Amino acid sequence: MRDGNDVHVCEVGLRDGLQSIQTFFPTDQKIAWIEAEAAAGMPEIEVCSFVPPKLLPQFADAKEVCAAALPIAEKHDGLVVSALMPNLKGAENGIAAGVHKLNYVTSVSVKHNLANVRMTPDESVDAFKKIVALRDEKAKESGRRVRLFVGLSTALGCTIEGQVDPDAVVRLAEKFLDAGADELAVADTVGYANPSQVKSLFKVMYGTFGDDLPLTVHLHDTRGLGIANALAALETGVRRFDASLAGLGGCPYAPGATGNIVMDDLVFMLEGMGMKTGVDLDKLVAVREIVARNLPGETLNGGLAKSGPPKGFVPASSFAAAAE
Amino acid sequence: MRDGNDVHVCEVGLRDGLQSIQTFFPTDQKIAWIEAEAAAGMPEIEVCSFVPPKLLPQFADAKEVCAAALPIAEKHDGLVVSALMPNLKGAENGIAAGVHKLNYVTSVSVKHNLANVRMTPDESVDAFKKIVALRDEKAKESGRRVRLFVGLSTALGCTIEGQVDPDAVVRLAEKFLDAGADELAVADTVGYANPSQVKSLFKVMYGTFGDDLPLTVHLHDTRGLGIANALAALETGVRRFDASLAGLGGCPYAPGATGNIVMDDLVFMLEGMGMKTGVDLDKLVAVREIVARNLPGETLNGGLAKSGPPKGFVPASSFAAAAE
């Protein structure tokens, strides 16, 4: 996987993007967004968050969104429908909703995790174990095993604690893998990272857990280095990337944090470099229209959408299509 | 040079940045900008362009700006004052103005060069030879030899021709070096490049001309990959970077071209990675205020300025200062 040209990108705009936006994005428009990105070949979409609607009314329609997303995934073979779950209740709802993958988040920074979910990271691991137990129990009942993904937040720096020790990232990763996580993500939640730091952390992660670890990089473009950090991750062997269309996103608990890296620019970079995302760039860029019309007040980021592809640009995935 | 941690950055906002902006930036404010960046430790500033004022009224004060910049450079040891010169007349004026370095630009793309200066690249080399002769003659008279820098424009793609052959870049580079160029730049004038392409071209350049070639990378952030391309160049051994404060810039002849890469974000990345620019980031970011107040209608780009440095951030250059 790490040496190959196939790259897995995951659209997180519907969750990480919308979670910091007050304007309710209408349910049918969320579904239109999912449908359009699925049609563009997006391999994974984090479609919602199973948080209490009182906390984040944006996700009050999580169940309906999943109910619509799953048939779309059936039409577009291989599309993974994932959702965030902050706790056991969220996991219950997520499993009941039938998503393929549930994402749990814990900050490596103790103070950030306490501020975010009022637990130490170790307590978050304990809470996760109950989620694993529930998942296993439900899998026995239904024969359908939901994949569990854990995002290690603030792994590259924290607005409260400043620098975060890479050893702490590795230790927490180990605990989650031992507890039953199927996949991990290293997240630069507040956009502190530089490319050297990204390379060094991912080298340690692969060195500790082996090249086969399904490891995602989740980056924010807070200080302008997001795409450069994605390049650094790619060069270290990372083949799984979170990003959001037009760079929507933020963190309600991280002051000054801005959006995720821009999916459209990321795919443009990867495809230009010969990496196959399977995503059709023109179709992807066209989806921005759905976001723009539902969030007229939001700034949509991204260079490719403004300037168009280079003259004569040939994305790597188009070779694959031609060869088939 | 290519293996070291010392990096040379050049502020091009006063030239590449302002050349596409209609609003006249007042002369005293240009000087204030130069003074403030010099005080921030900027190693080189391209302060103006010696083009006919009828073509670009923005640079009608080129002589006055140089007259003010040179004493500033004397106060800030090592600051290089450079200026663009499109032709022999510009070179004459630039040499008379006393700048340290004069920058000539030729597009590798034949059609782009014809559109830009109505000459083929080979004709531009011939015109450059006359500039070299003038420089040598003036050096004999005055004992002061102006360095001649040649920017190979559209070296990574062209809005008219599309892809540009790396061999054409090398051949044109060779002609300019043979003609007497002291330094070269490879420019992604229209923001077409991706990191693989940047690496591949710079490898060819160093492979052909040797590691000691003074080679600058000049990038635009038109499609969101500017800083990632700078990282790619850095990793290939490039230690000279053009950038503009707040990402001002464009190309009047390249439709859709946006600004240069953001100097503040570039310095932030480099310093975070342990590369020493000698620039004080806080002071650099503060200079944006001068730009903002004189160009109220312009978008100032950059993540660092909006979000501030990471908590506990220690720039590489501060180690050097502490060690002195």
For the residues of B87-106, what is the DSSP string, one character each? SHHHHHHHHHHT-SEEEEEE
Query: Is the pLDDT score of B256 beyond 60?
Result: no
pLDDT at residue B257 above 60? Answer: no
- pLDDT category of residue B319 using cuts at 50, 70 and 90: confident
The segments of chain A whose pLDDT lies below 50 read 254, 323-324
Inter-chain residue contact A258 with B311, CB threshold 8 Å: no
- Per-domain boundaries in chain B: 8-323
- Above 50 in pLDDT, residue B136? yes
Q: CB atoms < 10 A from the CB of A187, how many?
A: 26
Q: Does domain B8-323 have CATH number 3.40.640.10?
A: no
User: For residue B298, what are its two tokens?
Assistant: 């312009």
Identify whether the C-beta of residue B4 lies closer than 8 Å to the C-beta of residue B42: no
Residue with tokens 């993958």: A101
Q: Is B237 on the interface with A (CB under 8 A)?
A: no
Alpha carbon distance A217, A151 (integer Å): 9
CB contact under 8 A, A268 and B224: yes
A256 and B CB contact within 8 Å? yes
At residue A251, the pLDDT reads 52
Q: How far is B160 from chain A (nearest CA, A)?
A: 8
Residue in chain A lying closest to B307 (CA): A256
Helix, strand, or coil (residue A192): coil
pLDDT interval class at B154 (50, 70, 90): very high
Mean pLDDT of chain B: 94
Token match 């130069």: residue?
A: B34
**CB-based contact A157 B310, cutoff 8 Å:** yes
Span B299-315, pLDDT tens digits: 899 999 999 999 999 99
Position B78 scores a pLDDT of 84
For chain B, give the percent of residues with pLDDT over 90: 91
Q: Which of B223, B272, B311 sits opposite A194 (nearest CB)?
A: B272
Q: CB distance A192–B310 less than 8 Å?
A: yes
Phi, psi for residue A207 in degrees, rounded to 5:
-60, -35
A66 has catalytic annotation: no
Phi–psi pair at A72, nearest 5 degrees = -65, -40
What confidence score (pLDDT) does residue B292 get?
96
A265/B contact by beta carbon, under 8 A: yes
Query: What pLDDT sits at residue A324?
Result: 44
Q: How many beta carbons lie within 10 A of that of residue A280, not counting itself?
A: 19
ipTM of the prediction: 0.95
Q: Looking at the complex, does the CB of residue A88 fall below 8 Å from at least one CB of chain B?
A: no
Q: Are A184 and A177 in contact (CB under 8 A)?
A: yes
* pLDDT of amino acid B324: 43
Both tokens assigned to A17: 């993007």
Left, alpha or beta for A293 (phi > 0: left; psi -120 to 50: alpha)? alpha
- Whole-angstrom Cα distance, residue B157 to residue B109? 8
Cross-chain residue pair B223–A304, CB shorter than 8 Å: yes
Residues of B in contact with A288 (CB under 8 A): none
Chain B neighbors of A258, CB-CB under 8 A: 303, 306-307
Task: Give the mean pLDDT of B192-197.
Answer: 98
Give per-residue pLDDT as tens, B223-235.
999 999 999 999 9
Q: A162 vs B272: CB contact, 8 Å cut-off?
A: no
pLDDT of residue B258: 72
Residue to mutate among B112, B188, B189, B194, with most A CBs inside 10 A, is B194
Q: Which residue of A has its CA nearest to B230?
A: A228
